[in-house]
Every structure is written in structure tokens, then in C-alpha cells.
Chains A and B, each alone.
Chain A
Amino acid sequence: MTTDELIWRIAGGSGDGIDSTSQNFAKALMRSGLDVFTHRHYPSRIRGGHTYVEIRAAGHDVQSRGDGYNFLLALGDSFARNPQDEAYYGNEELKPLSENLDDLNEGGIIVYDEGLLDEDDVAELDLEARAEENGWHVYPVDLRDLAKEHGREVMRNTAGVGVTAGLIGMDLAHIEDLMEDAMSGDVLEANLQILQEAYEMVDEFDTSHDLTVPEGSHETEQALLSGSNAIAYGAIDAGCRFISGYPMTPWTDVFTILSQNFPDMGGVAEQVEDEIAAAALAVGASHAGAKAMSGSSGGGFALMSEPLGLAEMTETPIVLLEAMRAGPSTGMPTKPEQGDLEHVLYTSQGDSSRVVFAPGNVEEAYEQTRIAFEIAYDYQIPAIIVYDQKLSGENTNVDVEFFDREPAPDLGSTLTEDELKEAAHDASGKFERFGYDDNERGVSQRSIPGQQGGRYLATGNEHSPVGHISEDPDNRVFQMERRLEKLEHIRDDLDEGETNQTYVGPDDADYGLITWGSSQGAVFEAVSRLNDEGHSVKAIGVSDMMPLAEDELVEFIESVDEAMVVEMNATAQFRGLIQKELGRYGEKLTSLLKYNGNPFEPAEIVESYEIRLDGGAAEPSAQVRIEPAAGD
């Protein structure tokens, strides 16, 4: 554990305002020049239930959560079901303190609200002895009392932040600025007073710790964004102005952001009766000439299977999101997992022709959403962004200038009325939307209803050039091959452009780690640590899932002695995909899998690599599984 980092965990009940408090604290750290990365842990409940947000801040680049953490602000759960007696669920009020102790690093700091938490309950935790053993520094503070004195009990959070700042020597200016932006009047006054008083209160403490706020600086202005923000913003900049959906965690975040922004942007957002409708609306809007998007999480995405196939068959461009959460079925709704890869690649009947991207971090989420729209509308094919609860909710700082880009609202392969005059029509005057000629890259230009000279029939049945239902074998083979041909051209385009795959570590490394989507951050941190320790390891974070980044994967796998595929699921879905698509490497690929509901921490990957290097006999200490290569 490096000590030049602050890893601050604020723990309380859901409904205790943990999210907004942590958001502002993370921003304050960012404004003070640090790189930040947040991780949110919460149960599937609105009020009560133990929840925390962890903020990792350092003067250097941070791409994932750290190993453990070093500062606990335990507010206690003010929404606990049975605040006073031990209920079936245990002492819930105390959980924000009791359940966070195991991960706290040696030498860490604990601040807890002795106003809310019962003295006797805390005594039962054996806190003193454990603190002694682990070198923890424990500061009980009556946050509730301080909050009540100047304002209301809910302002305990502010008191906690004040104490935190005091203990680690952090300047209050940024925190105060942020409060002034968010509040006004008496509420602001009370909060500022509580903050100040809590901060000064620390002077009277008998302190023993040496953790201080790290120092850092940014050359350019930074913005704090989540993966969901980035996807929504990528969509806005790609000219998407139609979204339809049905709430489901964690996809709801993107749906919410766009529903709130579209009215001011000439766009349309629709919350509809179910996910079948949601996807069907996106198809209908796109058919009528809008850049449209829908999405869901596992179960809701399953309902979209049939409309997705309709979009493929009618060559209606759409972008769909799949925000994975732990399955099967309702699974663990608020926990991340990468278990829906095969679902997204293959769902819906027939041979699938779709594009799938799995962004690895916030910047990639923005970038690949733009690319998804570009390809979808250029090639008239559905494009899917598969991400997860982790990327959706984690916030990190991004250079503001990264977003200073031209919008790309082009409707892609669509004709204007003037162009339609030159296009092929049948004897009835119907436009040959799916004609046999002029199909560069497998794409046939489309018209939009309401255009003069463009009428045709779109149908999910196999169809003739003007869209009539047709079972003619020659037409069938032609249309089928033309639709499938697009994927090869899309692969070529992707290979020619800037790669969506991300690499770290020395080119000539002996060992490779392969990962996809949001596991990338933890894998990359592990690689840098391993190299610091003298190992020879590199990694690739893959985003192009369909069409798969085959050449890059072959090159990577060929260049190492062995590669370990790291992913958050139990059945090694990505490793399976690589072997299926490349038709080899069964003996060269091993797996590191995690599916307990929590994302990888870098140390787990480091340890698993070391076990693998030693022949793989040892049991990993964390809840992960190493699966050997074929023939091992």
C-alpha cells in the first residue's frame, strides 16, 4: 500500500446523502490538483442498508480502486430497520463501522459518529484491541450533536467532511466553494458553520496518525464524470436526439441524464411500458429519420432481442446499451459483473449482424459511443455498448478539453430527395431500398418516410429490393451475404482508424494479461505494480467485441509465452470468444475469474499472476478463481 494516496471511504445508510457528499468531496480533491477515482457500493434498497463510496485520490494517475483503503468516515446508518436491538439483519445502525473494518489498511484512520452510534455497541466491536493490532487511529466525534447545534441532523455528513479535512490537513476553500454552488440561504450558512467548526475541532484532538492529503496539480481544467455521463455525452455529440427506455439499474443513469437534457436540445425522450416497446420505439424513430438509442440491463435487454433482430433485418440503425449487473435472472441488481457478453453477442434468432463495443474507462465510453453511432448510421446496423454497474457509476477526472469536439449529427447512409430522383425504382415507382447494385461495403442507401420518391416497405421478413416479402433463393443469398459483408468492412475501418484497444506494459514482456470492459483499470494497475517488482508483464484491454479485434489479439498472444484472460464472470466468456473466433490458443490462455459481486482489486490480480507463475497450485487469498489453460 502506497502512502502517497488518500483512499477515503464514507459509509452510512442508503438515504444518508452519501452520494452527494462524496461527489463534492471528490470534486474538491480534483480541484486541489489530484487525480481521483470513485467506487460506489450500495444495496438494492432506497433507504437503509449499508452503503459506502470510496474515493481514491493521488498526485499521480489512478485508474481503478486501490487495494483496501486508509480513511473511514463511518456515519452509522440513520435509516436502520431496528436501530436499537439486534434484528435478524444484525445491528444495522453500526454496520457502516463494523462492516468496513476488514478492508481498512494498516495505519488507517477511523472517524465515527459517536452521536448516532451507541457506546456499548461500539465497545462490543473490540475496536481498541483491533486498532492496537493494526495501527489504526480512531477518532470518535459527536457529528450529530455538531450538526444539530447549527442546523439539522442530516448535516452530519458536513461535519464528517470537516473533521476529515482537519485530520489530513486539507484546505477547506474548494469544499466551501462547492457548497456555495449547491446551496443557499440558511442551509448554506449552517453547513459552512458546521464545516468550519468540525475542522477546527480537530486542533483539540490528540492526533497520532501521519496520513495527509496528497499533493498534485493539473495543467488543464478537469471534469469529474462517470461512465454513464460519458456515454450520454457521447450520444449527444453524435447527434442522438431520441431515447426510449424503461428503468432498470444500472442503465437508468444514462436514461435519466438524456431524459433531462433532451428537452433543451430539440430531442425526445420516452419512458415507455416495457423494454420490448423501448427497443421498438428506437427502431421506429430511426426509421423515421432520428438518431435513436435505447438500452437496458440484462433482463430488460433480453426483452429487446426481437426488436434488435428486426433492426438487423430491416437495416435500421440503432444504438443499444447493455449495462450489465450480476446475473442470472434478477441476480444481484446493484453489483457489477461481466456475465452478459454472450447474451449481447448472440441474442435474437438467425445469424447476427451487429457491432458490440465494451469501453474500458470513462474516456473510452465517450469515444466508443460516438463511434457506435457513426458505424450504426453509416452501415445501417445495430451497435451495442456493453458496460457494467462499475463503469456506469465510477467517477474519474477527465481533461475538459477532451470534450471540445465537433458534433457528428450526420444521418449516415441516407439519401436526400434530390438524390432519390437519381436512385433506382421499380415499375410502380417504389424505391429500391435493398437493390442489387451500388452496394458499396454491403450498404444500400435508405430513404426516410415523408421524402418524395422514397417509398418502400421495411420488413422483418426476407425481402426483395423494394422490400416485398420474398423467399426467392437467389435473392435470399444475395441479401444475406450483403448484410453480413458489412462486418468485414467495419473491421477494416476500425483497423484503419485509431485503435479502441488499450495497451500497457513493455512490448517485449513475457507474460500477457488480456481483459475487456471495465476490468481494464485494475488490470493496468496490476501490470504497473508487477513491472515495478521486476516482472515482465503487459496487458491489452479489448473493446471491439464484434467484430472482434482479431489481428491485435493474435499479435498480442503470439508475442507472449502465456496470457491470462481477466474478466468478472464465472464461465470465462471472453476467453471462449477469443478461442472461438481465432480457432486456436486453447493451451496458451488461462483465466482469472471473479463473480462475487465486487470488482477486481489490483492486488488480487498481482497475487493470481504470481500463483500462476509458480505453477498454479496455491489457493488465491481473495474470492477469485484461476482456470488453467487446456492441457495444463
Chain B
Amino acid sequence: MSAFNAIGDDREIDRDEYTPSVEPQPTWCPGCGDFSVLKALKQALPEVGRNPEEVLCVTGIGCSGKLNSYLDSYGFHTIHGRSLPVARAAKLANPGLEVIAAGGDGDGYGIGGNHFIHSARENHDMTYIVFNNEVFGLTKGQTSPTSPKGHKSKTQPSGSAKDPLRPLSMSLTAGSSYVARTAAVNPNQAKEILVEAMEHDGFAHVDFLTQCPTWNKDARQYVPYVDVQESDDYDFDITDRREAAEMMYETESALYEGEVLTGRYYVDEDRPSYQEEKRALGELPDEPVAERYFDDDAEWERSYDLLERHT
């Protein structure tokens, strides 16, 4: 018998369940793209058949980090840049959980960049949503790793001399087995991509373009957008690493020339997740670690039985 009966509970799930019936109401600025992530997630979760108490949403710090304040599930609002290591461990301790990590472009591509690379490399079975608004929102508009070259802000008064980071390419190179970009202005695609990401067995990275009208001034920043799967102008195989890499490069460059390309960029269904790899090595138990503490009949190993090597 499980101590975690929310996990695998097959009931019908209403999307309203994810909306807290009492406070807090979102405090994001009017027109902020972050609303769209919340909405898409609330739609996607019932579709993948997950109820609020088997979902752990782990966020970093930033406007984006408030996601789990407004999503009625288990949540962990961590510290700046560290959502991924917290989320990874929770998944290892209890693999039955639906683990979603989320944060901003500063959070995930800047201060937490090392965790991003390694989580992708290891292919942890989880979804990682980056609210990419090309700016540090919460700290009032400073230049972020994805701000365009020349971006002027209070801390870059002459405009940034740095080329922006290429999140999709970096994700692919690091090892993510699902990479997509969607935009707040495209709610249907956003929901579908989140569903795919959650259903994917492995590290699914979604770069979510979320306009920040407060600091980037243009609420219509990501309009119009193009879905690369639907457009006749683009034809590439998302299971082919080379073709995916080229398409990503083009997409990243185009964004700074005013053309918003979105869609699925790379999927590798064959690569085993980290959890599977670790289990195959005998390093991840079949019974979740967390389950055992609630099992009164569990037999706990003792150091006393290891002493032979010391006598």
C-alpha cells in the first residue's frame, strides 16, 4: 500500500482544481506573458491526467518564480537559479511525482546555467519551463542573458556589448531530449507543447517567450509568430540532431530580427531518461526512497552488518 495515494489516482480532473479558490490572485502586471504560462499549464495538467497532489511545481526567483503561488498543487518556490537541483532530487526520491521546474531567463540561463546544462545532460525525467522575457523582470528591467545585443538598461547604459545566449542550441548540445519554443501569444500551441513535454520521458525543455510589457515596453513583442511545423517555409526533421541544430540557430537569430519562430525543435524518444539509466545500474531502487519511510514492515540495513571489513 502506498503512502502517497494522490499518485496514480485516475480520477477525472477539472482544470479549476488548479486555481486556488481563495487568495492569492496573480500580482503580475497587466499584459504580462506570465499569465499565459499559468493558463497553459492549468489546461495541460488535466490533459495529462495529473491531479494537483501528485504534481510538484518547483520554481526559482523572479516574476516567473511566482508561478506556483498561483497554481494550486504542491509547490516549492526555491532560490534564484536553483529550481532544477531541488526538482531533480524530488523526482529521484519519489519518481511517481509529476515534477515541473520553472523560472526566468536570468534564473535558468544565467545564475542557474550550470544546473541547466547538467540537468539536460543527465536527461532527468521532468519538464523545465523557462519564462524567456529577455529581461530581468523582478529586479526592474536589467539586461538578461537573452536580451538582444545593444539592449539598454540602467546597468547597461550604453547598450549591451554581449551577444545573447542561444537557449535552444545550448539545450540541444547539453543533451535535452525534448526542446521546444512557444510564446505567450499562442495559447493553443503552448498547451500542446506542455502536454508533450510532460508526457515525454526525459528532460523536456520549453523556452516560453513571455513578453514583459513593463520593462520591454511592447506587449505585442511576440506577434506575429510562426509555427515552424505549420509553416511551408520550414521543413526539418525534429528527430535529426543536425537539422534541429540548424533550425534552432535560425530561430534564435530570427528573434532578434523581429521574426518570432516557435514550435517543436528536437525530440529523441529513444534516449533513456536518467532515472532509467540509474535504475539499470542498480543505483535507483524500485521502491521509491520516500515510500519506505512510511512502510512499517520495511527492513532497514544496519552498519553493524558492515563491520566485517573493519575487524
> Are the chains A and B members of one assembly?
yes
**A interface list, Cβ under 8 A from B:** 27, 31, 221-225, 229, 232-234, 236-237, 239, 241-242, 244, 261-270, 272-274, 276-278, 280-285, 287-292, 306-307, 309-310, 314, 366, 400, 403-405, 407, 409-411, 414, 416-417, 426-430, 448-461, 467-469
Complex CA gap A241/B72 in Å reads 30
CB-CB < 8 A to B292: which residues of A? Answer: 241, 266, 409
Nearest first, the 7 A-B pairs at minimum CB distance are A284-B89, A450-B4, A289-B290, A233-B303, A284-B86, A280-B85, A459-B77
| B298 near A409: Cβ-Cβ < 8 Å | yes
Q: Which residue in A276, A289, A460, A467 is a CB contact (below 8 Å) of B85?
A: A276
Stretch from B19-27, B143-151, B191-199, B254-262 at the A interface? B19-27
Residue in contact with A268 in the complex, picked from B20, B68, B117, B283, CB distance below 8 Å = B283
In the assembly, what is the distance between CA of A225 and CA of B68, in Å? 47
Q: Is the CB of A449 within 8 A of B118?
A: no
Contact B93 A290 (CB under 8 A): yes
Q: How far, in angstroms, from A306 to B97 measured CA to CA in the complex?
A: 26
- Could you tell me the distance between the alpha carbons of A496 and B298 in the complex, rounded to whole angstroms? 31
The contact of A457 among B54, B76, B90, by CB within 8 Å, is B76
B311 in contact (CB, < 8 A): yes
The reply to whether the CB of B232 lies closer than 8 angstroms to some CB of chain A is: no
What is the total number of residues of chain B having a CB less than 8 Å from a CB of chain A? 68
A-contacting residues, B49-104, CB 8 Å: 52-54, 56, 58, 61, 66, 68-69, 72-79, 82, 84-94, 96-97
- Cα distance A455–B3 in the bound complex, in angstroms: 14
Closest-CB distance, A312 to chain B (whole angstroms): 12
Q: Report the Cα distance A172→B12, complex, angstroms.
A: 74
Q: What CA separation (Å) do A53 and B22 show in the bound complex?
A: 66
- Mostly helix, strand, loop or mixed at chain A's interface? mixed
Given contacts A237-B302, A265-B301, A451-B5, are A457 and B75 in contact (CB under 8 A)?
A: yes
B284 interface contact, C-beta 8 A: yes
Q: Let me know if B289 and A290 touch, CB within 8 A.
A: yes
- Given contacts A407-B300, A455-B53, A458-B75, whether A284 and B88 have CB atoms under 8 Å apart is yes
In the complex, chain A residues whose CB is within 8 Å of the CB of B281: 263
Indicate whether A236 sits within 8 Å of B302 (C-beta atoms), given known contacts A242-B89, A288-B290, A310-B78.
Answer: yes
Are the C-beta atoms of B303 and A222 separated by less than 8 Å? no
Q: Which B residues are within 8 Å of any A CB, using their own CB?
A: 3-7, 9, 20-24, 52-54, 56, 58, 61, 66, 68-69, 72-79, 82, 84-94, 96-97, 114-115, 117-118, 278, 281-285, 287, 289-290, 292-294, 298, 300-304, 306-307, 310-311
The answer to whether B307 and A400 touch across the interface, beta carbons within 8 angstroms, is yes
Given contacts A239-B293, A284-B90, A454-B53, contact A461 B287 (CB under 8 A): no
Distance A264 CA – B301 CA, assembled complex (angstroms):
9
Q: B294 to A416, Cβ gap below 8 A?
A: yes
* CB neighbours of A264 from chain B (8 A): 301
Across the interface, do A428 and B20 meet the contact criterion of CB distance under 8 Å? Answer: yes
Closest to A459 in B: B77
Contact A451-B53, Cβ < 8 Å, known A224-B310, A458-B75: yes
Interface centre among B9, B97, B292 (most CB of A within 10 A): B292
- In Å, the complex CA distance between A272 and B66 comes to 27
Q: List 22 A-B contacts (CB under 8 A).
A: A31-B311, A221-B311, A234-B303, A236-B306, A244-B89, A263-B283, A266-B285, A280-B78, A280-B82, A280-B89, A284-B87, A285-B89, A285-B92, A289-B94, A292-B93, A307-B79, A407-B301, A430-B20, A450-B54, A450-B94, A452-B5, A457-B77
In the bound complex, what is the Cα–Cα distance between A223 and B311 (angstroms)? 4
| Shortest Cβ gap from B87 to chain A (Å) | 6
Question: A268 near B289 (CB under 8 angstroms)?
Answer: yes
Give the CA-CA distance A267 to B311 in the complex, in Å.
Answer: 25
Q: Are B293 and A281 in contact (CB under 8 A)?
A: no
**Which of A31, A291, A407, A451 has the most B CB atoms < 10 Å from its CB?**
A451
Please report the C-alpha to C-alpha distance between residue A276 and residue B86 in the assembled complex, in whole angstroms: 10
Additional 18 contacts, C-beta under 8 A, given A403-B304, A407-B302: A233-B303, A244-B89, A268-B284, A272-B118, A274-B114, A277-B84, A284-B58, A284-B87, A284-B88, A284-B93, A409-B293, A427-B22, A428-B22, A451-B53, A455-B72, A455-B74, A460-B79, A467-B75
B9 to chain A minimum Cβ distance, whole angstroms, is 8
Given contacts A277-B85, A289-B293, contact A459 B304 (CB under 8 A): no
- Distance in angstroms from B293 CB to nearest chain A CB is 4
Complex alpha-carbon distance, A429 and B52, angstroms: 11
Q: Which residues of A contact B293 (CB under 8 A)?
A: 239, 289-291, 409-411, 414
> B68 to A457, Cβ gap below 8 A?
yes
- Distance of A411 Cα from B84 Cα, bound (Å): 24
